[in-house]
Structure 1
Amino acid sequence: MGSHRRLAQSGFDRGATALCVLSAAAAALGVVPATSAVAAPHDDTRAEVDRLYEEAEKATEAYNKADARAGSLRKQVSGAQDRIARQQEHINSMRDALGSLAGAQYRSGGLDPSLALLFSDDPDDYLDKAAVLDRIGVHQAGELKELQEAMRDLAQDRSEAARKLGELEKSRKAVASHKRTVEKKLAKARQLLNALPSAERAAYDRASRSGRTDLPDLGGDVPSSERAAAAVAAAQSALGRPYVWGANGPYAFDCSGLTQWAYAQAGVAIPRTSQGQRFAGRQVPLSQAQPGDLVTYRSDASHVGMYAGNGQVIHAPYPGAPVRYDPVGMMPGATVTRV
């Protein structure tokens, strides 16, 4: 894997790359002197745009996490509601079977005094209980106890469903909050870009598309498994498709959406967020990376791509840049996970 070492030594982050390309392009266009030691007037603007895109990506992963949590809670609440409905139907059937006794309990909203004695925990009521049992019969007493247990279970499930609904509401609010954060940062980035002179904006756009969407030389690296090979093939089929925050295919993607979708095409479920994907398998050294391995970046694992071979990853970079190949050393803090 000598190519890994060669590429890793020349690694770069997205912002640095964009600025290098922009400086060269600006010099070629005569925007700034090529040998000037003074930063171009708009270097700070471009750096700020890169910073906003990075922060937006982190907020996007937080959005994805909250959205996935909300989706899970919706399923749990739906399941609880179905279970409660079935329990209520079962209770109603038991009440019907108990006839007038169950009917009296249902109408009164509680147990008849004699039935309350039946279920009392006070040992002194034993003889009274025995008398009641004589009147209603052992079989009927068993049905009443079953009814009481079913009603207790129903009350517990209703309480749990109410708690889940509360969690769901909090998760929905978190989703909305993260969405607003992403939208504000992206809107500010677009505003800054639009304020650049047209030549510098064009140079930035060219730098944003500096990765490859055609098939580079991926060497002879072999995927670690058939499912990894299938995931790589799926990711390659998405080359050129746009980055859209919060999207997980098939026509647009954010970074973790692309890798999750690619593995889903291989029949493998992995977490929705880049942080979750970092621990979706076994950690391996970068020097041992094989096609299909997930490569997460930065100390907080806020970006993820898929190793494609020969020191290249496929990833959804950021708004304005399509799914493409870039060197594996494009950002700091690379961590490799084999699914």
Structure 2
Amino acid sequence: MASHRRPKQPSRARVTVLTATAAAAVALTSQAAHADPKPTKTEVKAKVDKLYEEAEQATEKFNGAKEKQEKLEREVDNLQDKVARGQDQLNEQRDALGAVAAAQYRSGGIDPSLQLFLSSDPDDFLQQAGALDQISGRQTDTLKKVQAKQRELAQQRKEAAGKLADLADTREQLGKKKSEVKAKLAEARKLLNSLTAAERAKMAEEQERANRASERAALKAAGGSTAGGSTAGGSTSTGSSANIGKGSGLAGAAFAAAQSKIGSPYVFGATGPSTYDCSGLTSWAYAQAGATIPRTSQAQANAGQRIYSQSQLQVGDLVIFYGDMHHVGLYAGNGQVLHAPRTGTVVRYEAIGNMPFQFGVRI
């Protein structure tokens, strides 16, 4: 007789495991189907270039915070020196009053007003202006000087405290900007490391070729027509008669100094003598020529006479790029600029049309 037993059903636990396994398999298949393809070398380069530009923007903010910190440190030091000198003067004035009190004591007693001054907080006593009438004219003059010195010291201490608070805030901002720059550069390095060794070598070769091409273009412009060199944007400059390296006066001396640093690596926050960022190069160059200009590109944009026409630029003029003015170089003549471009590059010539020109600045 045939058996009619029902087939054994899978346990609930087994069903759960099977279901989970199937779901995981579906998810993995879905992820594999929708996974982003590995970016190409060209895409990586574009992303890295963008990160380098953002890092340079953060670098100029870092430079500004650093400059403010250094200025505040000098101001705080000066104020603290003034307070120390003022305290010494106050002590001398109080010593003089003490001598008067000693003389009065030897002659039979101390003036009550003077005794009150010497035995309590001078501020409390000096608020009682009427008490000054009880003291001799000489003592009155001395007390008034003490009062003025105390007020001056109180103001200086208050100002120093405010500067110290600003300094603490600025140091905090400086740390944040430095971290921001480092984060951008780390992200760029991570992207570069995602490429194969061959791809990285190819990118480095292309960058070196770009450096050489820029230098050749500059040298060609220097020896070519002086009436109008072509720019990278395809337009022709129609007024510059300056050849590369032939500036004059202060600007020419600054340009000559910058020329001596061609090939020096870009390093954020650097002002020489072997590495530079963009505004570090320009401020260093003008310092070699005997002029002090601000540290950051944004501040340098307001350091002299603005020149809005490229045709009016002269060798050594500052050239400001980008809407937020985060990049600066030195005009080299014939549509070229000498600058420290960004991380991964060196001080070099480049066509002015390669970047969004804003205006020049004549120091």
TM-score, structure 1 length as denominator?
A: 0.79
- Point out the more displaced range, 276-285 or 100-109: 100-109
Residue aligning to 2:51: 52
> CA 1:238/1:111 → structure 2, altered by over 3 Å: closer, same or farther?
closer
> CA 1:208/1:116 → structure 2, altered by over 3 Å: closer, same or farther?
same
Unpaired runs of 5+ residues, structure 2, are 1-37, 102-113, 227-241
> CA 1:153/1:172 → structure 2, altered by over 3 Å: closer, same or farther?
same
> CA 1:96/1:259 → structure 2, altered by over 3 Å: closer, same or farther?
same
> CA 1:103/1:323 → structure 2, altered by over 3 Å: closer, same or farther?
farther
Residue aligning to 1:124: none
The structure showing larger relative contact order (alpha-carbon pairs under 8 Å, at least 6 residues apart) is: 1
Match of 2:281 among 238, 247, 258: 258
For 1:294-336, what per-residue CA distance to the aligned partner results, in whole angstroms no more than 9, with x for missing partners?
1111111111110112221111111121111111111113421
Matches within 5 A, 1:160-171: 160-171=159-170
* Whole-Å separation in 2 of the counterparts to 1:193 and 1:337: 36
- Point out the more displaced range, 216-225 or 73-82: 216-225
> CA 1:129/1:317 → structure 2, altered by over 3 Å: closer, same or farther?
closer
Q: Is it true that 1:105 corresponds to 2:117 in the alignment?
A: yes
Residue aligning to 2:339: 315
For 1:236-275, what per-residue CA distance to the aligned partner results, in whole angstroms no more than 9, with x for missing partners?
0111111110001111100000000000000111111111
* Whole-Å separation in 1 of the counterparts to 2:169 and 2:293: 24
Instruction: Report the alpha carbon displacement of residue 337 of structure 1 after superposing the two structures with TM.
Output: 1.1
Residue aligning to 1:41: 40
Contact 2:331/2:337, CA 8 A, preserved across alignment: yes
Aligned length: 288
Instruction: Report the alpha carbon displacement of residue 167 of structure 1 after superposing the two structures with TM.
Output: 0.2
For 1:157-197, what per-residue CA distance to the aligned partner results, in whole angstroms no more than 9, with x for missing partners?
00000000000000000110000000010011011112112
> CA 1:40/1:175 → structure 2, altered by over 3 Å: closer, same or farther?
closer
Contact 2:123/2:147, CA 8 A, preserved across alignment: no
* Whole-Å separation in 2 of the counterparts to 1:322 and 1:267: 24
* Whole-Å separation in 2 of the counterparts to 1:254 and 1:297: 14
Residue aligning to 1:283: 306
> CA 1:106/1:314 → structure 2, altered by over 3 Å: closer, same or farther?
farther
* Whole-Å separation in 1 of the counterparts to 2:247 and 2:118: 63
Matches within 5 A, 1:164-183: 164-183=163-182
> CA 1:336/1:138 → structure 2, altered by over 3 Å: closer, same or farther?
same
Instruction: Report the alpha carbon displacement of residue 129 of structure 1 after superposing the two structures with TM.
Output: 5.3
Residue aligning to 1:216: 219
Residue aligning to 2:250: 227
* Whole-Å separation in 2 of the counterparts to 1:116 and 1:183: 56
Q: Is it true that 1:326 corresponds to 2:350 in the alignment?
A: yes
* Whole-Å separation in 2 of the counterparts to 1:171 and 1:66: 6
> CA 1:279/1:99 → structure 2, altered by over 3 Å: closer, same or farther?
same
Residue aligning to 2:231: none
- Corresponding residue SS for 1:216: helix
Return the letter of the residue paired with 2:121. G
Residue aligning to 1:147: 146
Aligned-CA RMSD value = 2.2
* Whole-Å separation in 2 of the counterparts to 1:293 and 1:254: 17
Contact 2:337/2:350, CA 8 A, preserved across alignment: yes
- Point out the more displaced range, 186-195 or 97-106: 97-106
Contact 1:91/1:150, CA 8 A, preserved across alignment: yes
Return the letter of the residue paired with 2:351. P
Contact 1:96/1:103, CA 8 A, preserved across alignment: no
> CA 1:150/1:331 → structure 2, altered by over 3 Å: closer, same or farther?
same
- Corresponding residue SS for 2:354: coil
For 1:88-130, what per-residue CA distance to the aligned partner results, in whole angstroms no more than 9, with x for missing partners?
01000101111165786355223676x653x15xxxxxxx754
Unpaired runs of 5+ residues, structure 1, are 1-38, 121-127
* Whole-Å separation in 2 of the counterparts to 1:175 and 1:249: 20
* Whole-Å separation in 2 of the counterparts to 1:168 and 1:289: 39
* Whole-Å separation in 1 of the counterparts to 2:334 and 2:260: 19
* Whole-Å separation in 2 of the counterparts to 1:307 and 1:60: 22
Return the letter of the residue paired with 2:352. V
